[in-house]
Amino acid sequence: MNALFDLTGQVALITGATHGLGMAMAKALGKAGATLVINGNTPAKMEAALGSYAADGLRAHGYLFDVTDAQQVKQNIAQIEQEIGPINILVNNAGIIKRIPALEMDEADFRQVLDVDLTAPFIVSKYVARYMVERRQGKIINICSMMSELGRDTVSAYAAAKGGLKMLTRNLATEWARYNIQVNGIGPGYFATEQTAPIRVDGHPFNDFIVRRTPAGRWGDPEDLGGTAVFLSSRASDFINGQIIYVDGGILATIGKPANEQ
């Protein structure tokens, strides 16, 4: 059974993995045996990230390229295949969010969010999958969101992109399953990261809302994503395709507590 989850000898490319949840998932894949290829677009962040991986005893290779630029993606994927080895696992994690009310959002901002959060996963998947098709094997994981299912104030572009990413996941799974490529998604809930640290304090309205809204009664720990990432990257998920696994502590399973319920 352990062999089903062993990633030894596998090469995993994780976009936007110089920090946050992308780094947490990448480290989980590395600890399961995968050789890590980390994408980012900032040299300073990449240097710091590679130091963090090394401190955890993980060897990671860094590649700087813009995931929205098809030519850069094509060139770097070819380079990774030649320098590191065949990419067996792709995690499309890179993303942005702009919290702007729809009535106030410029079209350029809306398009930028869709470009990074939806078009880029298509571009990267396409160029990686070309090699996977030849080898008749591959795992692609798109990082979706609870906003793939739900709306919220000020995130119209993000929700549109993540909803689209859910359906892109299902469609790529439909097209590529015949080549033994599994395309699935992970939908994280609310996680304890450096970005959320200022609001994760007792008494803060949003902190209290998340704790009450989540059946598990807490924020997610980045390491909570590791098991799902390893599972969807491993042989254990060879007959799972086009699915989105929500790692959210149960938020999407419930309508939530009434305001007067303790």
Pairing of strands 11-14, 89-92: parallel
Give the model's confidence band at 65: pLDDT under 50 very low, under 70 low, under 90 confident, else very high: very high
Give the model's confidence band at 256: pLDDT under 50 very low, under 70 low, under 90 confident, else very high: confident
> Residue range 192-202: average pLDDT?
88
For residue 236, give the amino acid letter: A
Q: What is the DSSP letter of 228?
A: H
| pLDDT score recorded for residue 198 | 87
Is the model's pLDDT at 216 over the cut of 80?
Answer: yes
Q: In sequence order, which ranges of the chain are alpha helices (DSSP H)?
A: 20-31, 43-55, 70-83, 107-114, 120-135, 156-176, 205-213, 226-233
Is the model's pLDDT at 157 over the cut of 70?
Answer: yes
Residues known to be catalytic: 158
Cβ neighbours of residue 116 closer than 8 Å, sequence gap 6 or more: 67, 68, 94, 95, 96, 161
| pLDDT score recorded for residue 262 | 63
The pair of structure tokens assigned to 224 is 């909570």
DSSP 3-state assignment of 13?
strand
Please state the pTM of the whole predicted model: 0.96
Is the model's pLDDT at 212 over the cut of 80?
Answer: yes
DSSP 3-state assignment of 172?
helix
| pLDDT score recorded for residue 257 | 74
| pLDDT score recorded for residue 33 | 98
> Residue range 65-90: average pLDDT?
98
Give the model's confidence band at 260: pLDDT under 50 very low, under 70 low, under 90 confident, else very high: low
Is the model's pLDDT at 236 over the cut of 90?
Answer: yes
